Every structure is written in C-alpha cells, then in structure tokens.
Amino acid sequence: MKRPFRHWLLPLSVFSALLLGLFPLMPLLQPLRPYWLALVLAYWVLEEPDRVGLGYAFLVGAIADLVYGTLLGEQALRLVIMTFILQRFRARLRFFPLWQQALAIGGLLLNDRVVSAAVHTALGTPQLPWAFWWAPLLGLALWAPVFLLLDTLRLGRRG
C-alpha cells in the first residue's frame, strides 16, 4: 500500500535547509558549514525521483544563489551536477546500508567542493580557505540523521 505524499514536506525541508545555510556562525566555523541544501536535495532525489529532478535542482540552486548572494548560477550548477550523479546511480544507492549511502554522499559533497573550486579558479576569484575541504566530512556524518529525520516525517509513524 502506497502512503500519501505529504506535499508540505518537500518545500518546508528545502526552506529549512536554506535557513540553516543563513544561520550565522563564528568566522572560524564558517568554512565547516555543511551544505544543508545538498543533503536535503539528495534525500528527495533518492526517495521521490518523480518530483525532484534536474529542473527542481536548478530552480532551488538559483534561489539559493539569490538568497546567499553568491554568483548567480554557481549553486544551481553544483546542485544539478549532484542531482545528475544521484539519478544515474539511484537504483544502487537506495538499497545501500545507511553507512554506505553516507560514504557516497560524502563523495558527492567532495565533488561539489571540487566544482566550486573550479568555478572560483575559472573566474579568478579568491580561493576558499583550506578548512573549506573539511565540510564534506561533516556532511557525511550528518547524512544518517538527515535521512532518518526526513524519512520519518515523509512516512509518518508506523505501527
């Protein structure tokens, strides 16, 4: 039996991820900020591929560029690349144990940092600090709680 889709959860989770990205951090911790939007979008691409695809990733990325004041299109590009890879390997990733999914998501977040560094290099803008490369490890560690929270909200309580 298929459970009804909770239409409010997708936009609310994306909005929450955008807000978490705006939450002020101490300057020392700023480069360690996990890419909340990528974590939330990765969950939805894996679990609701008919509703969240490349177009949705581009739209959310463009909105994030406007909200965060970054180069218009940078986050859209990063999220579209991540979504494309997730869609390509979705059939396998969905059935990985959670710890293996976390490793795959960590790899995608590291790839995201490479794409971001390539964009900054191509434009000649200042490179981000070395601590910038530690954030994918934090995203890897946060994958299980994010996945379990969104899964519980999406499916509701069982029993």
Q: 19-48, pLDDT tens digit by residue?
A: 999 998 888 888 888 999 999 999 999 999
CB 13 within 8 A of CB 37: no
| pLDDT on residue 131 | 81
Does the residue 4 lie in any domain?
A: no
pLDDT band at residue 50 using 50, 70 and 90 as cut-offs: very high
- What pLDDT, in 10s, does the model give residues 53-63? 999 999 999 99
The tally of CA atoms less than 13 A away on the side-chain side of residue 48 is 22
118: in domain: yes
- Average pLDDT over the chain, rounded to an integer: 91
pLDDT value of position 126 = 80
Whole-number pLDDT of residue 25: 87
CB 19 within 8 A of CB 27: no
Q: What's the pLDDT score for residue 142?
A: 96
Predicted model pTM:
0.91
Residue 73, domain member (yes or no) = yes
What's the distance, Cα to Cα, between the start and end of the chain in Å? 14
In a domain, 60, yes or no: yes
Please report, for residues 30, 70, 113, 156, the alpha-carbon distance to residue 75 in angstroms, rounded to integers and kept in the order given: 17, 8, 11, 31
pLDDT at position 159 is 44
Q: Which residue from 15, 80, 89 is spatially nearest to 53, judged by alpha carbons?
A: 80
Domain membership flag for residue 2:
no
Taking only the tens place, the pLDDT of each residue in 83-101 is 999 999 999 998 999 999 9
Residue 101 inside a domain? The answer is yes
As for how many domains the chain has, the answer is 1
pLDDT band at 155 (very low <50, low <70, confident <90, very high): confident
Nearest to 33 by CA among 16, 20, 19: 20
Q: Closest Cα to residue 22, out of 76, 71, 70, 81? A: 70
What residue numbers bound the domain in which 47 lies? 9-22+30-155
Q: Is residue 1 part of a domain?
A: no
3 part of a folded domain: no
Q: What percent of the chain has pLDDT over 90?
A: 73
